Structure 1
């Protein structure tokens, strides 16, 4: 049991040492302590994956109780670690990528004066993510959920003297609060329905809701936003609220706007948080709650639709972006859409498989982008790059491997291909084979997104590494390969990008599905997807390969064969180009609907409410009237004796008059 505690708490120990004692021990010691502890945690995570995931552990998930946590009313939860196959997969994703990012950052951040703080934040984020994925109840998951939100805020705004970094950190924090509002309401709804927030209790009682939708019992069990919901519809409402939290954290359509701006943080942050780990928390949430979601077809349909739109939308925006990190950021957003489509059609194993492979090749792409930026003196605009291939050959080869993996290069109908060839293609096939009412729509969106993914990925490669250099002579003169401390993580990630798909295919969604997952994901005899997508029509199976080839050829023609074509097309289709370049104008729309309206409301309440009403007629107004009266009364105190005598005579005359009138009456 100590093994599992060590995996979770070693990063926290590193964060405390670097955060509280970083100045005393120095930057080098902070780097070595945090990175060393992460290496240990990563090695132990692989051991857990081999023993729990690949092994034959019987008797359900392993529980490791840390302490009694909350006992209030009907809530009785322990702070416990839940170790099953799903957890073990997430452990190696989080700790492997985090370890490599720690190692990479030693080289990337070597000139930064605040390295202890940076490494403390990285380790703190890792601890929070580990708390999330090892949670045994929704309260503990919410603790980790908010922890990664805090760490993300700190890391995005690490260079806090840059106004753009501060704005990006605030944007990520606020947009995620919208999703978290839904998540916490979802937790409350689940508690109302099941009387508990422990996963075991929830999953054990979920079966009683299986046939309630539209049928046998119309007893109101949940009042939600004024709607009186019976069992089936209440379950759908709870699932949709939980999914709202997932939408915020995983940057799905409508709550996606924070992710591209999060690139303001250092590049290793982008690789760790916004490509490989934190953004997959929403996918993990839906996968963990799959026994609940499986009982709500309507919720799964919504998940599928949002995922398909996200995959398409983000891919269209990625076509025209010029910042190398933003292209990869929109790629992340699009790939997360693929994962949610897989979850929505019930292919839970395929969704986690793509999460697993995506962590390797997307972290590889981000760290390669950092190596490129490091080589060209901080430049991120691809229009000012070009011709870098002879100067940074290792980075070029590593980024080429990442591109081959994300575009899904492989030989159809054979077990030969890069990681994305296995994980992305199986999602497309499973979507086609599913019985979802929106399967056709989702399948079409994913194939188009695959074509766009191939185009913008190869566009990035061609603009960055090929043709003549577009950077200044001074920049090109100083272009250099990154140090080995930055290249070693690239080698290790490249191994995953090449072999992870081929090696683990059968375990995640193939013949060994049930034996591998051991009930960690929803598995049913009625869930025929595990078998059906192996028998889809040949053209369906070939569609992602065809899309990949078309995208590659188009990018090659436009950026190698005829480099003038993109500018011509942009002029001919200026409206469409500006629409995509400005990200469908979502930032402008939200600025108008929410930011400006909130500011206008605040200004109205300030000027009219506070100043106009409260200050005028409230305490300040009363005080002002008192001052006015006293100022008038003061004028009566002239200091002249004859004024006072005259006032006394008037008083006497008034008194006599009053007495005379009184006696007459």
Structure 2
């Protein structure tokens, strides 16, 4: 296990070489370095994983050096490999490697080819630091690293100012969450005297038991930090605009790296959250609201990538709803399943965009199933997994487990709130089926509106083929090994007693049934009654509702009114430096006094005599007043 650090070192070396070479490197050399470094990282992650399993799944810590030492705070640069970090490492390097291969095809001919892969490599290295670091200080370093890389990649096409603004927005909104996370780290260090993750997790029930309010604030700050990275309300506005970057960037952010960081953090520090049941409920409620808002937003989008972006936000809502119900293993397996089918969908959308000459409006496509049948098959499988088609797709085995365990938690803990959240999750599944079918039908069926050219190449269909297989029911074969890994990492499994197991199965079957009903309604609406749907959508009431949904319920406008405009007003005022202007009052008074006294120097004896007489009168009056007051 001494070479665990190589999983981070290879993509980091790739970043350095690509950043140093930049435009001097040919596309082939840049692709070899960029893809090869992540491939080597995936290989050593696999070797480390095999050794970990063969050694009995005992956690391993590899100390490299002491980062810094300030008083009693001396965080180490040490890597911690257990079942959870192995799951995350495998997902990051495995899915990330496939995305890198696809990107080597997708980005051909683009300016800044080597620069793109340098950012891509740094992104993977930063995410690996985040999940392998054995202390929260090192986790925060990786956390900030993925934030930086998201800014660089979202704004990759920087010649378009809109892309630059999208990058700034993503960076700024996630920084808000990072401030909350930093506050949480201060609170944890104050209470535990260390940022060592394993120590905090093991002793949370002892240290935080005596101060419930502090436990609530610490857990809340941790979750708000996670919400920023994982685009949960109220810090979700950056995610859809992140589609400004190249499509492989969207795949990497949404499937294998940045947005999963929040889910990882909450599961890694689950004992801290369990000391604050109110925050656990808040997490589930936030996830439920987010999945519902994102579902409505996805239903009316016209940009193929924005539809998938809102679907990511929705699926993350399911994961957090699971975390809040203590269904950690179900949430983490759905995270892995989501990495498979969301990478498949985003990369497939990239193929569609290239085939349609960089067109992203789904209503300018149509009839593509004949032109690119393999991509159509990928969309059908990926969309089926997103909608959790029973037994055939991996999404069925992950999402419905979440809904069943949320329902069971409500029964076992006697918390009606979770029963309500279960129905919100069912409603979200209903919406998912409708907007997924809408996406596939509009893009691949009907009249061809944009001529699509043929696309080919092993670096295009190879990654898609692997992700397609993993997104089917075959991917569900990983569920048992994943549960075993998570159990070895002391991530609790949700135990369903026999007396409620039948009810839980009924809840899962209900969710499946409602999702299938949504699929049927989608077929009826878009395949057979599309003309009526378009006419209905043009009515004033429906058009107004659709406008609200399309803008994700107006959070951007609200934040612009509440935060942006007041900030700009304050900046405008401070731009004139009011403090400096205040100090100018003194010289202005002196100057004014000088002007007044100078104007009195007229040379007229009559005026001087009058002034002296007036002065004497004033002095006499002052003396009289003083004497009267003194008596």
Q: What TM-score does the superposition give when structure 1 sets the normalisation length?
A: 0.85
Give distance in 1, aligned partners of 2:557 and 2:205.
Answer: 45
Q: 2:19: which partner in 1?
A: 19
Q: Deviations over 1:117-138 (max 9, x none)?
A: 0000000011000000001111
Q: 1:424: which partner in 2?
A: 399
Q: 1:618: which partner in 2?
A: 583
In the alignment, structure 1 residue 63 sits paired with structure 2 residue 37 = no
Q: 1:319: which partner in 2?
A: 299
Q: 2:629: which partner in 1?
A: none
Give distance in 2, aligned partners of 1:278 and 1:626.
Answer: 60
Q: 1:598 aligns with which of 567, 573, 576?
A: 567
Give distance in 1, aligned partners of 2:261 and 2:189.
Answer: 21
Q: 2:619: which partner in 1?
A: none
Q: Deviations over 1:626-661 (max 9, x none)?
A: 88899999999xxxxxxxxx99x99xx99xx9xxx9
CA RMSD between the two structures: 2.6
Q: 1:91: which partner in 2?
A: 89
Give distance in 2, aligned partners of 1:375 and 1:544.
Answer: 36
1:18/1:120 contact within 8 Å kept: yes
Q: 1:49: which partner in 2?
A: 49
2:263/2:320 contact within 8 Å kept: yes
Give distance in 2, aligned partners of 1:533 and 1:352.
Answer: 23
Q: 1:531 to 1:361 in 2, by over 3 A?
A: farther
Give distance in 1, aligned partners of 2:580 and 2:486.
Answer: 63
Q: Give the superposition deviation at 1:519.
A: 4.2
Structure 2: gaps of 5 or more residues = 617-631
Q: 1:543 to 1:364 in 2, by over 3 A?
A: same
3-state SS of paired residue (1:271): helix
2:301/2:550 contact within 8 Å kept: yes
In the alignment, structure 1 residue 569 sits paired with structure 2 residue 569 = no
Q: Give the superposition deviation at 1:296.
A: 2.2
Q: 1:551: which partner in 2?
A: 518
3-state SS of paired residue (2:519): helix
Q: Deviations over 1:213-266 (max 9, x none)?
A: xxxx5xxxxxxxxxxxxx222112111100000000000011100000000000
Q: 2:436: which partner in 1?
A: 457
Q: 1:309: which partner in 2?
A: 289
The 5 Å alignment of 1:42-441 reads 42-52=42-52, 54-55=53-54, 57=56, 60-209=58-207, 212=209, 217=210, 231-410=211-390, 416-434=391-409, 435=412, 437=415, 438-441=417-420
Q: 2:461: which partner in 1?
A: 487
3-state SS of paired residue (1:127): helix
Q: Give the superposition deviation at 1:318.
A: 0.6
Q: 1:51 to 1:423 in 2, by over 3 A?
A: farther
Give distance in 2, aligned partners of 1:361 and 1:129.
Answer: 20
1:347/1:530 contact within 8 Å kept: no
3-state SS of paired residue (2:77): strand
2:63/2:78 contact within 8 Å kept: yes
Q: Give the superposition deviation at 1:55.
A: 4.2
In the alignment, structure 1 residue 503 sits paired with structure 2 residue 501 = no
Q: Give the superposition deviation at 1:554.
A: 1.5
Q: Give the superposition deviation at 1:404.
A: 1.4
In the alignment, structure 1 residue 6 sits paired with structure 2 residue 6 = yes
Q: 2:28: which partner in 1?
A: 28
Q: Deviations over 1:374-421 (max 9, x none)?
A: 0001110111111111011111111111111111112xxxxx431101
2:469/2:475 contact within 8 Å kept: no
Q: 1:534 to 1:507 in 2, by over 3 A?
A: farther
Give distance in 1, aligned partners of 2:439 and 2:109.
Answer: 28
Q: Give the superposition deviation at 1:84.
A: 0.5
1:322/1:381 contact within 8 Å kept: yes
* Mean Cα deviation higher: 2-11 or 265-274: 2-11
Q: Deviations over 1:268-288 (max 9, x none)?
A: 000001333210000000011
Give distance in 2, aligned partners of 1:566 and 1:445.
Answer: 25
Q: Give the superposition deviation at 1:557.
A: 1.4
Give distance in 1, aligned partners of 2:587 and 2:24.
Answer: 55
3-state SS of paired residue (2:43): helix
Give distance in 2, aligned partners of 1:241 and 1:491.
Answer: 41
Structure 1: gaps of 5 or more residues = 218-230, 411-415, 637-645
Q: 1:185 to 1:26 in 2, by over 3 A?
A: same
Give distance in 2, aligned partners of 1:164 and 1:500.
Answer: 41
Give distance in 2, aligned partners of 1:111 and 1:24.
Answer: 15
2:27/2:108 contact within 8 Å kept: no
3-state SS of paired residue (1:139): helix
Give distance in 1, aligned partners of 2:216 and 2:596.
Answer: 70
1:280/1:355 contact within 8 Å kept: yes
* Mean Cα deviation higher: 622-631 or 330-339: 622-631
Q: 1:532 to 1:183 in 2, by over 3 A?
A: farther
Give distance in 2, aligned partners of 1:303 and 1:500.
Answer: 31
Q: 1:276 to 1:459 in 2, by over 3 A?
A: farther
Q: Give the superposition deviation at 1:614.
A: 3.3
1:294/1:522 contact within 8 Å kept: no
In the alignment, structure 1 residue 445 sits paired with structure 2 residue 419 = no
2:96/2:256 contact within 8 Å kept: no
Q: 2:555 aligns with which of 586, 590, 597?
A: 586
1:395/1:481 contact within 8 Å kept: no
2:12/2:122 contact within 8 Å kept: yes
Q: Deviations over 1:40-72 (max 9, x none)?
A: 1112223333443x54525x4100111111222
Give distance in 2, aligned partners of 1:323 and 1:20.
Answer: 36
Q: Give the superposition deviation at 1:624.
A: 7.0
Give distance in 2, aligned partners of 1:119 and 1:602.
Answer: 37
